[in-house]
Amino acid sequence: MLSLKSPAEIASELAIRVRERRLQRAWTQDEIARRAGIKTATYVLFERTGRISLIRLLKVLEVLELLEEFDRIGRGQDLAGVSLDELTKPERQRGRRKTS
């Protein structure tokens, strides 16, 4: 699939959104880093550049109560190329019908 953004741009935008969540809670960078169990310098670098290891990012998302959202990535059905008729048709039942 064609993306108009590079991975680096997406990472930077994610860091901005995480920063906004941190500020909504009135937490300092030091406080969120402490809560996530990572070094403050690591977190500061993440907010500035978007660079962070996946495990550390997951720790940050966990303290911001965003881990469940992240866990949903890729779980949805890819609906590209599926028609409305295909989406709305009833599922076929398998097996024998019970006779009375």
The pLDDT tens digits for 50-94 are 999 999 999 999 999 999 999 988 887 666 666 767 667 776 666
Which CATH number, 1.10.3210.10, 1.10.260.40, 3.90.550.10, 3.40.50.300, labels domain 1-65? 1.10.260.40
Question: 100: pLDDT confidence band, cut at 50, 70 and 90?
Answer: low
Q: Which of 3-7, 31-35, 42-46 shows the lowest mean pLDDT across its residues?
A: 3-7
Q: State residue 89's pLDDT score.
A: 72
pTM: 0.72
Count how many residues are written for the chain.
Answer: 100
Q: Which helix (H) or strand (E) holds 22?
A: helix 7-24
Q: What is the mean pLDDT of the chain?
A: 88
CA dihedral 6, 11, 16, 20 (to 10 degrees): 130
